[in-house]
Chains A and B, each alone.
Chain A
Amino acid sequence: MDIHSFQVWLVTTIYQNSPVADLMRTAWAWPIAESLHFLGLCLLVGSIGTFDLRLLGVAKRVPIAAVHRFIPWGLAGFALNIVTGTMFLLTEPDQYIYNPSFHFKLLFMTIGGLNAATFYLTSYRRVFGPDAPLDAPRRAKVIAAVSLCAWLGVITGGRLLTFYRPAPCDGPQTGLLLTCQP
């Protein structure tokens, strides 16, 4: 199965089996889920962004490990957004799976995730050890900058979704991903 057929299969399968579509189509479910999605965004930026800024040199007198205590709150915001985001996707799958802005949002989320994994694999010990320096190593600073850019990319991709709603396809599609409604 090529990627285009997979996208079509995904949209069809979700439409036929979505467990949340009925709930999400009630009067206030969608707006409430959106509000929660924005709250999750703020928690994520406020926690992970604050930690990134510390790695980049803001509040340099504070031990890096002390600021890391905000991270679970950022992960909670992320989890909230995965849940609410999945609810949107399971209700209007074609509006996301054929939407180039959503493709970029997922790409930036992947970059953010791999970047965070890189941090814990390469810099965690040096930054959190008993004799950790107050100034983060250069590698950790690069990771922090990439993290900030990745999450800003995720926000941008999310906010622009509505401006790239897929139109019906006119003829055969050649792009890597399908960005119209077949």
Chain B
Amino acid sequence: MIDLDPFLAWVESTTLSEWIVGSPSMFAFPGILVLHAIGMGFAVGVSAALDLRILGVAPRIPLTEMRRFLPVLWAGFWLNAVSGVLLLIGYPTKALTNPVFYLKLTLIAVAMVLLVRISRSAFGEGDVTSALDGALSPRLRRLAIASLVCWTGAITAGRLLAYTYTRLTQLH
């Protein structure tokens, strides 16, 4: 196993990390957390809405039209990728020494792969089911359920990060 500590100590010594953690400004750590929560709402929320549509909610929305909401989902995702990296730069030891953090990242990665597969299937030229509410393929429904499960797991893992870390910083 590679010893991460020198690298983590270096990250924590950078000006950016010190500003994120140490600045009294509400735009530092608190503001980044706010953006991370808002991005989660839009990314997971819109993804869940797409999953629910596939599972039969709001059947009069043509499935292909759900793609119009995807830019909002991606905006939320990128907002969280950026704010998440900033939070990681702030507390690298806290995250990278906690197995739950890797579980969270894995669940997000799987959820995004599922999203791409759902998008291809629902909006692409594959097994198109653009009919109003026609029987959507069982495969698509399985992907939608898996997506909801992954997001639920990712959010739970994310929340548990505050309770399961063993080391906060190199100094602690």
Contacts and interface: CB of A to CB of B under 8 A. Distances in A.
Interface centre among B38, B58, B66 (most CB of A within 10 A): B58
A38 B44 CA distance: 10
A163 B30 contact: yes
Contacts of A50: 45-46, 49, 69
Nearest to A34: B159
B88 interface: no
Given A31-B159, A39-B155, A50-B69, A69 B57 contact: yes
Interface string B148-163: 0001100110111011
Contacts of A158: 37
A151 B38 CA distance: 10
A73 B58 CA distance: 11
A62 interface: yes
Nearest to B67: A59
Contacts of B160: 31, 35
B42 interface: yes
From DSSP, what is the main secondary structure of chain B's interface residues?
A: helix
Interface string A42-71: 111111011001000011011101110110
Given A35-B155, A39-B152, A69-B57, A58 B68 contact: yes
Given A58-B72, A163-B26, A41 B58 contact: no
B145 interface: no
Counting chain B residues whose Cβ lies within 8 A of the other chain, the interface size class is: 35 or more
A42 B57 contact: no
A70 B34 contact: no
A53 B58 contact: no
A159 B49 contact: no
Contact of B44 (A31, A34, A42): A42
Interface string A124-150: 000000000000000000000000000
A101 to B, nearest CB: 10
A70 B37 contact: no
A46 B33 contact: no
B100 to A, nearest CB: 11
A160 interface: yes
Interface in B45-76: 45-49, 52, 57-62, 65-66, 68-69, 72
A149 B162 CA distance: 28
A46 B30 CA distance: 23
A41 B68 contact: no
B49 A47 contact: yes
Interface of A: 31, 34-35, 38-39, 41-47, 49-50, 53, 58-59, 61-63, 65-67, 69-70, 73, 151-152, 155-156, 158-160, 163
Given A41-B41, A46-B41, A61-B62, 19 more contacts: A31-B160, A31-B162, A35-B155, A39-B152, A42-B40, A44-B41, A46-B48, A49-B45, A53-B69, A59-B65, A62-B61, A65-B60, A70-B52, A73-B52, A73-B57, A155-B34, A155-B41, A159-B30, A160-B34
Q: Which 7 A-B pairs have the closest CB atoms?
A: A46-B45, A45-B41, A69-B58, A59-B68, A66-B60, A45-B45, A42-B44
5 contacts: A46-B45, A50-B49, A58-B69, A62-B65, A70-B57
